Amino acid sequence: MDEKKPSTADILAKIRAQKAAAAASSETPAPAAPAPESAAPVPAAEAPVAPAAAPKPAAPAAKPGSTKDILAAIRAKGAGGAAATPAAAEAAPATTPAKPASPAASAGPRPSVQDMLKAVREGKVGAAPAAAAPAAGAAKSAVAAPAMPAKPASATSKKAPSPQRRSLAVLLVVACTSLGCFIGSALTGSVLLFLAGMLVWSLLMTPFMAAFASLAEVGGLWTLHTARFMMPNVLVEPPSKFKVGPLSDYPLNTVSNKWKDQYGVWIVHTDQYEGQNLIFALASVCTHLGCTPSWLDGEQKFKCPCHGSGFYITGVNFEGPAPRPLERMGLKIAEGMLEVDKSMKFQEEMGQWTDPASFVAVS
């Protein structure tokens, strides 16, 4: 097996050996001339090849294929490389100017994070009193000083609150005026008022105020319309009360599928429930999980296609998993017609089928 299938470590070692050989053959003839980057790998590659190649013959005995070996080989390479690099750098220091430069930079004028933070803090501290006492801060904040000339006038500090207050007042006045104009235009349908509102809006506002006022207005309108959207002005459900024709449409011991598709009810006329001759409306919703059962005329039962629940013509469950009978809807006679009221439901197990609103007795 070991002979057939070389382990990963073997393959890696082989590749490395080949690379090293190639590098040695191509690079070594001119060692002084090339850049240090290419010079460095030569000793780095040579260093691990020697230790890696030496244990190789002995390796099969000591499990060559383990990850440990691979890691060790890599580590050996790293160590060799590390040892080799300074040597290479010393040998050709002139060719690597960048390396000495960077430590010099970090050790020298490059500011540390603390320095920068300090500078910023001083700059801030210096900025506030700079208007009041610039002379005192001058020595302290050499870094922040150049930023100060922009704010020279000490008189502005007195006037400062006034433009803010004025802008707020203007904002309020403009917003109220234009809003009034818009509402007025919306109420009366006047285009003139709307244009007036727009005019006030556009003439008296600074861009900054206009932006915020627009944002507020759009946001307000959005919220109002969302609220309106939540309560649509339509009734999506069919009317809960509907006429289903006269008594004579429903002969004894039949189930009518006529209203099932539209309203989801069966009109049942039977005398099998406690011996009474009744017409009632059954909801076509299985009491197990809400599928729509089918009325099977041949077997005289309602059968649900989902899990096989079965109900007698009376709506009482007798097979399958449905735990309770089908529900009755309200039924009464109005203007000589049967009228179903879907807003009412009557459950047998709650004793509600005795409620006279749940059936129409046929004499």
Partner 1 sequence: MESHLQHNPDLTSAVIYGLGWVYLLLFVLNCAWVRRSYAVDGNFRLSLGGLLGKGQEVPFAALWAIYCAMLLMVGIAHLTGSGNPQTFPLKMPEILKEPINAGSNPVAFFVFSTSLFIAMIVFRKVWTTMTAGWLLLNFALLFVTLSVTDYDFRQIVGKPDNVPIVAMLYIVGFFTWLYFRKSVENDKRRAEGRPLVEQENNEKVLTWPDLVYTELICMVVLTAILIAWGIVLQAPLEEPASAAKTPNPSKAPWYFLGLQEMLVYFDPWMAGVVLPSVILVGLMAIPYIDFNKLGNGYYTFNERKFAISTFLFGFLPLWVAMIVLGTFLRGPNWNFFSPYEYWDVHKLELLNNVNVSEWFWLSIMDRQLPVAPAGSDQLTQIGMILLREWLGLVLVAAYLFALPPLMAATVFRKFFSRMGFLRYMVLANLMLFMMSLPIKMVLRWAVRLKYIVAIPEWFFNI
Binding segment toward partner 1, per CB under 8 A, in 99-107, 208-216, 321-329, 336-344: 321-329
Distance CA 267, CA 256 (A): 5
Which lies closer to partner 1 via its Cβ, residue 49 or residue 265? 265
Binding segment toward partner 1, per CB under 8 A, in 82-90, 107-115, 198-206, 297-305: 297-305
Nearest approach in angstroms of CB 63 to partner 1 is 9
Distance CA 68, CA 74 (A): 10
264 binds partner 1 (CB under 8 A): yes
DSSP designation for 312: -
Which lies closer to partner 1 via its Cβ, residue 241 or residue 301? 301
- Phi-psi region for residue 345, left (φ > 0), alpha (ψ -120 to 50) or beta? beta
CA torsion, points 240, 246, 247, 250, in degrees to nearest 10?
Answer: -80
Distance CA 348, CA 352 (A): 6
Which lies closer to partner 1 via its Cβ, residue 274 or residue 335? 274
Cβ(331)–Cβ(340) under 8 Å? yes
- Who's near 276: CB < 8 A, 6+ residues apart? 361
Which lies closer to partner 1 via its Cβ, residue 251 or residue 351? 351
Among 211, 218, 289, 334, binds partner 1 (CB under 8 A): 289
Residue 182, classed as helix, strand or coil, is helix
CA 204 to chain centre: 42
Which lies closer to partner 1 via its Cβ, residue 51 or residue 310? 310
CA 338 to chain centre: 53
Among 38, 66, 96, 167, binds partner 1 (CB under 8 A): 66
Site string for partner 1, 25-64 (x = CB under 8 A): ----------------------------------------
Among 25, 67, 162, 248, binds partner 1 (CB under 8 A): 67
Among 36, 180, 184, 320, binds partner 1 (CB under 8 A): 320
Binding segment toward partner 1, per CB under 8 A, in 17-25, 183-191, 198-206, 291-299: 291-299
Tokens 């079965």 belong to which residue?
310
β-pair partners for 283: 265
Binding segment toward partner 1, per CB under 8 A, in 160-168, 230-238, 254-262, 273-281: 254-262
For 191-207, what is the HEC assignment? HHHHHHHHHHHHHHCCH
Site string for partner 1, 209-248 (x = CB under 8 A): ----------------------------------------
- Amino acid found at 346: F
What separation in angstroms does the CA of 102 have from each of 96, 106, 109, 287?
11, 6, 11, 80
Site string for partner 1, 267-286 (x = CB under 8 A): -----------------x--
- Who's near 101: CB < 8 A, 6+ residues apart? none
Among 152, 199, 305, 334, binds partner 1 (CB under 8 A): 305
Binding segment toward partner 1, per CB under 8 A, in 73-81, 143-151, 214-222, 260-268: 260-268
Which residues contact partner 1 (rule: CB under 8 A)?
Answer: 7-8, 65-67, 260-262, 264, 284, 288-289, 291-294, 296, 298-299, 303-308, 310, 318-321, 323-324, 349-351, 354
